[in-house]
Structure 1
């Protein structure tokens, strides 16, 4: 069994979609049918409204904000999970006085196909490469 822990590095977050992120991929040890990132929306800011062809979920870990999807706004607090279907315009609005921190995971058929191809090339448990 192999285990590797990836830690959040707050000193090296990148700024995209008007929020701070740390992407999960690339991660050489991990073969996954998804991609993901840790995201932080600072107080008094919003992420950029966007849509895409992937399915996506956000898992709120810390803080509280609102999320808007296709014009519908709902509270989003630590412990909540939201799912966005492809083509849904969505973003987070943080009017609170603390960070909203959440994990975003997205997937599509291309990511799933690549996962399956990589998986089929891996040796079975107990076999040597």
Structure 2
């Protein structure tokens, strides 16, 4: 067995509800030192996520299906293969008006996450 890498499996039967959708967070993951956080997100057919904003930078990578992104009141189509950057402070939600589930991966980061990563990286490198 190779101790240099680890595969984290998606546990579809135990997704957690957050911001109005089902998700699995990337962290905690003791072996991972990353300057970001993330989550696999599933928005069920006919649902929409809770509108919110935060201080983090964020990107969404659409994986399967299609939905609409509403950012500060502007709505745009968002489908598998698309990537969106959401700047800090914008109010955003995902709306799934389709008959199928929409899945995407969200990644977010801020200065504190970067500082924690750099400190741990320096510690692990010595």
Tell me the TM-score range normalised by the shorter chain.
Answer: over 0.9
Unpaired stretches in structure 2, ≥5 consecutive residues: none
Structure-1-length-normalised TM-score = 0.94
For residue 73 of structure 1, what is the aligned residue in structure 2?
75
> Per-residue displacement from partner, 1:20-39 (whole Å, max 9, x unpaired)?
00000011111000000000
Structure-2-length-normalised TM-score = 0.96
Of 66-75 and 115-124, the range deviating more from structure 2: 115-124
C-alpha displacement at 1:116, in angstroms? 0.2
For residue 15 of structure 1, what is the aligned residue in structure 2?
17
1:27-66 paired onto structure 2 within 5 Å: 27-66=29-68
Unpaired stretches in structure 1, ≥5 consecutive residues: 125-129
C-alpha displacement at 1:16, in angstroms? 1.1
Structure 2 Cα separation of the partners of residues 123 and 103 of structure 1 = 30
For residue 82 of structure 1, what is the aligned residue in structure 2?
84
For residue 99 of structure 1, what is the aligned residue in structure 2?
101
> 2:81 is paired with a residue of what secondary structure?
coil
Structure 2 Cα separation of the partners of residues 86 and 33 of structure 1 = 16
Q: RMSD between aligned alpha carbons?
A: 0.9
> 2:112 is paired with a residue of what secondary structure?
helix
> 2:122 is paired with a residue of what secondary structure?
helix
Spell out structure 1 runs of 4+ moving beyond 3 A: none
> 1:3 is paired with a residue of what secondary structure?
coil
Structure 2 Cα separation of the partners of residues 62 and 29 of structure 1 = 28
